[in-house]
Amino acid sequence: MSNAFQTAVKSNVQYDDRLAALDRLVEAGDTENLRLFVQLDGMSGDLRRQALYRLADCGASAELGRLANDRSLDPSLREDAAHRR
């Protein structure tokens, strides 16, 4: 796993630093780890949604499709993924 992903998932990291880590994942084209971040149960809903928005911003329609079909994901996140795909 990348350093950016590890930073984003650490609970003792400031919110803005976590967002910056998500941005670094986008810059690296690491859409798989962005998708994994959205799927993590322990993350706040807002951070998970921010990762989902970043997936949409970089045109990761395949990853958004996987999220839209992931029945273990919160329904509101699934709907958002489906609409942004």
* Residue ranges of domains in the chain: 3-84
How many angstroms separate the CA atoms of 56 and 50, rounded? 10
What type of residue sits at position 73?
A: L
pLDDT in tens, 34-80: 999 999 998 999 999 999 999 999 999 999 999 999 999 999 999 99
What residues have CB less than 8 Å from 6, skipping those under 6 apart?
none
pLDDT at 29: 95
Q: Do 56 and 26 touch, CB atoms closer than 8 A?
A: no
Q: Do 22 and 46 touch, CB atoms closer than 8 A?
A: no
pLDDT in tens, 9-18: 999 999 999 9
Using the predicted structure, report yes or no on whether residue 21 has a pLDDT greater than 90. Answer: yes
pLDDT at 51: 98
The predicted model gives 17-35 an average pLDDT of 97
Q: Do 34 and 47 touch, CB atoms closer than 8 A?
A: no
pLDDT at 45: 92
